[in-house]
Amino acid sequence: MRAWPRRPEALRLGGTVVSRPWHLQPPDFLEIEAAHARLAPHLDVTPLLEAPAVNAHCGARVLIKPECLQRTGSFKIRGALNRLLQLTAEERARGVVAFSSGNHALAVASGAQQLGIAAVIVMPSDAPRTKIEGTRALGAEVVEYDREREDRAAIAERLQQERGLALTPPYDDRRIVAGQGTLGRELALQLRARGVQADVVATGCSGGGLVGGCATAFAALSPATRVWAVEPARFDDTARSLAAGERVANAAVSGSICDALLVRMPGALTFEINRRLLAGAVTVTDAEVIAAMRLVHEAFGIKVEPGGCVGLAALMHGRIPLQEGIAAVILTGGNIDDDMHRALLAPGTD
């Protein structure tokens, strides 16, 4: 069930088979390997941590991958750089455009600054100020929009066409998925080096690029490990899409503390990958997320943003079935300002 044609040339949409451009086809593991070779000089290797307090809370052995310590504070730099490093000289000269609620924005801005590429980022005006200001501080031009009323993809597309910018989407692109997949590759190899075979990997899911890339890596490196997507309550578009067998959208567009995970619906490419490779998708509440943030800060002294620890929240609250009692969890991002982090962790907020 986990295999797919190496280079599927066509996609079935509403009964019609249409051909697709290369960048909308699923990456295979060799492409993740190639992305790793491309990215390694630019990235940190985040550690694999374990703490008795976390194991006790989860009733299982839980290995924690704090990717929030990655450059730019999230895994997003992997996909962004994998796209930017494959631009032609001409594309580099014209610049890139991206849309993002924050972490992908920081990643594209940072990667572009490092490579000397101009970047325009379309961000919702209700994104955390730390993310909007951080993106501007990295030299990017930020275009704000109203999440409730405007379509970010349409704004980005207009900028792309008007100014000849290369689109660097947050998830629905094989180069992005392969880049995020390098995190799954790194995790799988760290588990192997430690002599551990994880039952499950749990990670947050918004558009589905990270979980899809990780599932692709684990299918190759540790096929017995089941990869789960975790979403905030009311933003369970991937869970409902998996159940429906087709992409469905969320009714809500705001109203969760997990600002990084408020996508409207799964990507076309990422859903194609995830429906084949995921064990499933589960949800967690804001209160469960806060409990996980607190546990991470107490056990490891690491600050995680709400959307960054939904995977751990799901394990703490028994949402994900384990066979052997061994789980790996990715902490995907840590971009939350200190005041907000303090306020969320204050006693009585969960």
Footprint on this chain of a second copy (rule: CB under 8 A):
44-50, 66, 68-69, 71, 73, 294, 297-298, 300-304, 334, 336-338, 341-342, 345
Q: At closest approach, how far in Å is the CB of 303 from a second copy?
A: 3
Give per-residue burial for 284-322: e unless 16+ CB within 10 Å, then b.
Answer: bbbebbbbbbbbbeebbebbbbbbbbbbbbbbbbebbeb
Distance CA 238, CA 250 (A): 9
Catalytic residue among 65, 74, 76, 100: 76
User: Is 101 marked active-site?
Assistant: yes
Element (H, E) at 57: helix 52-58
**Residue (261 or 281) nearer to a second copy, CB:** 261
Tokens found for residue 291? 């409990």
In DSSP notation, 121-143 reads: EEEETTS-HHHHHHHHHTT-EEE
In DSSP terms, 180 is beta-bridged to none
Q: At closest approach, how far in Å is the CB of 338 from a second copy?
A: 6
Catalytic residue among 65, 74, 100, 101: 101
- What's phi and psi for 154, nearest 5 deg? -65, -40
The β-bridge relationship of strands 10-13 and 16-19 is antiparallel
Q: At closest approach, how far in Å is the CB of 229 from a second copy?
A: 23
Q: At closest approach, how far in Å is the CB of 193 from a second copy?
A: 9
Q: Which residues contact 120 (CB under 8 A, 6 or more apart)?
A: 95, 96, 97, 98, 140, 141, 142, 143, 159, 163, 165
**Residue (75 or 300) nearer to a second copy, CB:** 300
**Residue (3 or 346) nearer to a second copy, CB:** 346
**Residue (71 or 319) nearer to a second copy, CB:** 71
User: Is 241 marked active-site?
Assistant: no
**Residue (57 or 147) nearer to a second copy, CB:** 57
Q: At closest approach, how far in Å is the CB of 47 from a second copy?
A: 5
Question: What is the identity of the amino acid at 203?
Answer: T
CA nearest 204: which of 109, 345, 101?
101
Catalytic residues: 76, 101
